[in-house]
Amino acid sequence: MDIGLMIEGQNGLTWDRWSRILQTAENKGFKHVFRSDHYTDASGPYLESLECWTSLTYAATASQTIEFGSLVSPITFRQPALLARMAAAVSDLSGGRVILGVGAGWQDREHHNFGIPFYDFPTRFAMLNEGLEVIVRLLRSDDPVNYEGKYFSLHDAILLARPKHRVPILIGGNGSTRTLPLAARFADEWNGVFIDANTYKEKNELLSKLCEAIARNPADIKRSLMTQVRYFRDQAELDAAGKSLDELRGGGRIIAGTASQVIEQIEAYATFGCERIMLQWLDLDDIERIEHMADAILPHFHTHHS
């Protein structure tokens, strides 16, 4: 089980904060840092933010060992051919440490604010389907590619120089009828989002069945989870929160508690096939708590911990 952090890049992220988070993650033994790709939050006050792929380019040279990536880049404002080019370039710059997360886009506020068309879900999903075709063909084909879709097309297009490393494509979401079949076709990694361990087990098993139905080896797809963590340094701090553990955990959808309780929850996901957890960390200035959590839980999961 690889444990890492997930940062909301629109939630007050600055260069100083991003630099500290990357350095802390690497120094304390986290395996990865992922971040969202948004202009702003869906509601609430407007906060500072860093453009996603610019910040990932920085991460390629500001870190040496951790993996990092987008969770996820919306196809509504990420033209797929350009996204493939960016991901390939950042992958080469980092020595193959980037993961390309792609999604349909969901937040109408950012689209409205910045003048980006926000189509209905069937249209956005169709765009995602085509966009993934474009991205996969450009990243994987050594020959010029032709593709004609309703929303995107390629005409004798080839990505040069060819990527030095395979850029894994991540598809996140829990939908059984649309998202999981899409992951079965295109994903190198499927990412469950804010679901309890039993639901994760069900979705994971369904993904394997969907792979088998299209003659794809289920083992070809890495299984991961993104959910929030609410970490308490000791029982007294947990008691002071004034909520029961079940309330803090949102009925099992959020990881919360002291170190031993957090470890227990993560182990439950591991039992059901999860290989990587991105722990959403909202307080970007609480570095001390990130460090405390790392010291307390990472040695349990990571053999090589520094």
What's the pLDDT at 154? 98
Phi and psi angles of residue 101, each rounded to the nearest 5 degrees, phi first: -90, 130
At residue 245's C-alpha, the angle toward residues 243 and 246, to 5°, is 100
The string of pLDDT tens digits covering residues 245-304 is 999 999 899 999 999 999 999 999 999 999 999 999 999 999 999 999 999 999 999 875
Does residue 231 carry a pLDDT above 90? Answer: yes
Contact 280, 293 (CB under 8 A): no
Mean pLDDT of 197-206: 98
User: Which pLDDT score, from 0 to 100, does residue 303 have?
Assistant: 76
The predicted pLDDT at position 250 comes to 93
Question: With pLDDT > 90 as the criterion, what percentage of the chain qualifies?
Answer: 98
Query: What share of the chain has pLDDT > 70, as a percent?
Result: 99
Residue 305 has pLDDT above 70, yes or no: no
Q: 155-188 pLDDT, tens per residue?
A: 999 999 999 999 999 999 999 999 999 999 999 9
257 beta partners: 231
pLDDT at 27 over 90: yes
Q: State the chain's mean pLDDT as an integer.
A: 96
Residue 50 phi, psi (nearest 5): -115, 135
For 58-84, write each residue's pLDDT tens digit: 999 999 999 999 999 999 999 999 999
Tally of structural domains, the chain:
1
Asked if residue 194 belongs to a domain, the reply is: yes
pTM, entire model:
0.95
Give residue-wise pLDDT tens across range 95-142. Answer: 999 999 999 999 999 999 999 999 999 999 999 999 999 999 999 999
- Mean pLDDT in residue range 224-244: 96
Q: What is the pLDDT of residue 304?
A: 53
- Report how many helices (DSSP H) and strands (DSSP E) the chain contains, helices first: 11, 12
Report residue 186 CA to chain centroid gap: 16
Average pLDDT over residues 143-164: 97
Alpha-helical regions (H) of the chain:
15-28, 52-62, 80-94, 108-113, 121-140, 179-186, 197-213, 235-240, 245-248, 259-271, 287-301
Is residue 282, in this structure, part of any structural domain at all?
yes
Residue 217 domain-assigned? Answer: yes
Does any domain span residue 306?
Answer: no
Contact 186, 132 (CB under 8 A): yes
**In which band, very low, low, confident or very high, does the pLDDT at 306 lie, cut at 50, 70 and 90?**
very low
Give the Cα separation of 125 and 147 in Å (integer).
18
Q: Which residue type is seen at 135?
A: I
Owning domain of residue 257: 2-301
Q: Is residue 221 domain-resident?
A: yes
- Check which CATH number belongs to the domain holding 250 and give it: 3.20.20.30
